[in-house]
Structure 1
């Protein structure tokens, strides 16, 4: 069982690092769009964009996922999965549903320095 838990923890940490690297890349390529897609405040975007690779590694080594589904209402997810609209409209519909989710700030300045 310990090996299974260690494997899951490693997967979580790998996912966290991949997510943080993607966040930085998105912020560097198109900050406004990244902030919108990731539901980030200006100060959170500044902090995440400024983290060094070492800090990203430190932040990723937690036993909690740093990313989360942005749907709190299961009905929103069901609508996306079972909506018979064509692909183009489905993507627009998904973007509208995701845009309606309020901004969530999960990182703090103190957690970045750990």
Structure 2
């Protein structure tokens, strides 16, 4: 019988809404003892992205070091990659932080218009 991996487990696959379309994510590494996860995030026809998340202790909470490495899948997607500026990234991380904190507090997802 096939087993469904948990959302942070290696080989887990999930789809998330977003712009310019739905993204398919595949967890390639999950090292709970190191507080580390790596995944590939594919926006079909747009980009392939390696996403690395490294957590570390920070007082009563934790700090997340998040790295995105985008690769354009063609000239039409170069525009998307070009929008990934430091300012855009900062805003995106603030939105993502709020969504994660809300979920950890309430166990409920924010509406899609608040998703990172």
TM-score by length of 1: 0.23
Higher strand content, 1 or 2:
2
Structure with greater contact order relative to length (CA < 8 Å, sep ≥ 6): 1
Higher helix content, 1 or 2:
1
TM-score by length of 2: 0.23
